[in-house]
Structure 1
Amino acid sequence: MKTALITGANKGIGLATAQQLLDAGYFVYIGSRDIAKGEEAVAMLGHANTAVVQLDVTDTHSILAARELIGRSTTQLDVLINNAGISGGFPQAPATVPVQMIRDVFETNFFGVIQVTQAFMDLLQKSPQPRIVNVTSGLASLTLHSDPSWVYYSFKGAAYGPSKTALNAYTLSLAYELRETNFKVNAVDPGYTATDFNHHSGPGTVENAAALLVRFATLGADGPTGKYFSNDRNGETSPW
């Protein structure tokens, strides 16, 4: 049975992604900063092939403990979905935003992804077809941000969008490093989805968002790597 770890999986898109991977026959580790909320998520899923893992992506000790725990129950990890993220709150006016807010957002959305990926790399390398999905945002696209006709052109800020732009850059570099292996590493934007993250203001559903993440988590051997895909572009590539 293939295995998957999803960070920030106790609710929203992460939880819906867990459900769809379970339906596809995966064993899913539910990464949750709050262990009680993770246990609630596992109970909600009601599936034997799940386990909650306390995982705070900003805490090195938590990451290493999660790696040790998962390593005791499986010899390989087939899928890593770096889904945990924060917005930092809005507005994020570049001239006045507190620098600490930017640091906090980058700690979760950028550095956290790197730490988790590196901690689980050895388990991923033992999979015959390892897949890494870095959950990004349309707000990461510098090309779109420079286009006044873009529907989200005015949604600019100094923390959230830039943290995802940095994540995209890391995704490209990681995919390049692993280009001669069986890894597939992609940045995937689930689109503007109605979740707690945006006070349920987005038009998309968590089920549709999760479907896109699962698509890239389960790519075949001929699938793409080092690309940026978006639900806002019908699941096709987005400009960087």
Structure 2
Amino acid sequence: MTTTLITGANKGLGYETARRLVAAGHTVYIGSRDIERGRRAAEELGTRMLRLDITDDASVRAAVKVLEADGGLDVLVNNAALQAEMSDGAVVVGAADLTAEVMRETFETNVFGTVRVLHAFLPLLQRSAAPVVVNVSSGTASLSRAATPGDPARAYRGVAYPASKAALNMLTVKYAEAFPTMRINAVEPGYTATDLNQHAGTQTVEQGAEIIVRMARTAPDGPTGGFFSATGPMPW
């Protein structure tokens, strides 16, 4: 049985990913900062719930202890994220208005929180026969796309969110290099309607979760250190 932890999974892409992986036979733990929302989601999905705030060391350590006591971890989906520069479906913080506070808040979850989770759960993943890590990134993180006139990634006015996801992509490459027996990849779910973007996205969560689920099921001989969308490899 494959044991999977999905951070930020009481709603949106994390919730749908959990639903699909349960159907695929995984034992799924959903991480949620909000205990009641997490419990409700776990009951609906038939998963187990962990109170998990990726910005808090004690919360992450407690989650590790639970999974260690329950037998370990095979798949980690780093889904929890925030988009502090968004409000009412519109980007309100572009380069001209970007502050260190917005950047710090964004990186605290999207980058530092992910590193905190990776560092804490690596010992459990290393004990797995087929460890997998999926980092949920964004097409806005692609430097080549952001530099291409006419590309949607270039049209996106925000700075903090794509910068944080570009950092996440670099983490993906470096961790994959450091742990060659693991399958560690970043994914671009597409512009999906979730709370993250005030439901302004043009895709459903079912469409967005497809690549997350696919990469969570990567075989030991599958790709690692890559960046993928539902249609194939993404440009860095």
Aligned-pair RMSD on alpha carbons?
A: 1.1
Query: Which whole-Å CA distance do the structure 1 matches of 2:208 and 2:223 have between them?
Result: 19
The correspondence of residues 84-233 of structure 1 with structure 2, limited to 5 A, is 84-89=80-85, 90-179=91-180, 181=181, 183-231=182-230
Shift of residue 26, structure 1, vs aligned partner: 0.6
Shift of residue 199, structure 1, vs aligned partner: 2.0
Q: Structure 1 vs Structure 2: percent identity of aligned residues?
A: 46
Shift of residue 70, structure 1, vs aligned partner: 1.7
Q: Do 2:142 and 2:153's aligned partners in 1 also have CA atoms closer than 8 Å?
A: no
Q: What's the counterpart of residue 6 of structure 2?
A: 6
Query: Which whole-Å CA distance do the structure 2 matches of 1:130 and 1:62 have between them?
Result: 22
Query: Which whole-Å CA distance do the structure 2 matches of 1:140 and 1:152 have between them?
Result: 8
List runs of 5+ in structure 1 lacking aligned partners: none
Q: Tell me if 1:71 matches 2:72.
A: no
Shift of residue 51, structure 1, vs aligned partner: 1.0
Query: Which whole-Å CA distance do the structure 1 matches of 2:151 and 2:70 have between them?
Result: 47
Q: What's the counterpart of residue 30 of structure 2?
A: 30
Partner of 1:72, secondary structure, is helix
Greater shift in the superposed pair: 192-201 or 121-130: 192-201
Query: Which whole-Å CA distance do the structure 2 matches of 1:212 and 1:194 have between them?
Result: 15
Greater shift in the superposed pair: 59-68 or 131-140: 59-68
Q: Do 2:192 and 2:203's aligned partners in 1 also have CA atoms closer than 8 Å?
A: yes
Query: Which whole-Å CA distance do the structure 2 matches of 1:221 and 1:53 have between them?
Result: 27
Which residue identity is paired with 1:7? T
Shift of residue 98, structure 1, vs aligned partner: 2.0
**Larger helix fraction of residues:** 2
- CA deviation string 1:91-121 (max 9, x = no partner): 2222322211100100100011111011011
List runs of 5+ in structure 2 lacking aligned partners: 86-90
- CA deviation string 1:45-79 (max 9, x = no partner): 1x2xx2110100111111111111221112x2110
Query: Which whole-Å CA distance do the structure 1 matches of 2:165 and 2:145 have between them?
Result: 14
Partner of 2:153, secondary structure, is coil
**Equivalent residue for 1:59, pick from 56, 64, 86:** 56
Query: Which whole-Å CA distance do the structure 1 matches of 2:223 and 2:201 have between them?
Result: 28
Query: Which whole-Å CA distance do the structure 2 matches of 1:137 and 1:94 have between them?
Result: 19
Shift of residue 207, structure 1, vs aligned partner: 1.2
Q: Do 2:172 and 2:184's aligned partners in 1 also have CA atoms closer than 8 Å?
A: yes
Partner of 1:37, secondary structure, is helix
Shift of residue 149, structure 1, vs aligned partner: 2.3
Query: Which whole-Å CA distance do the structure 1 matches of 2:152 and 2:14 have between them?
Result: 26
Instruction: Report the count of equivalent residues.
Output: 231
Q: What's the counterpart of residue 88 of structure 2?
A: none
Shift of residue 18, structure 1, vs aligned partner: 0.3
Query: Which whole-Å CA distance do the structure 1 matches of 2:224 and 2:150 have between them?
Result: 29
Which residue identity is paired with 1:225? T
Q: What's the counterpart of residue 43 of structure 2?
A: 43
Greater shift in the superposed pair: 91-100 or 9-18: 91-100
Which residue identity is paired with 1:67? V
Partner of 1:53, secondary structure, is strand
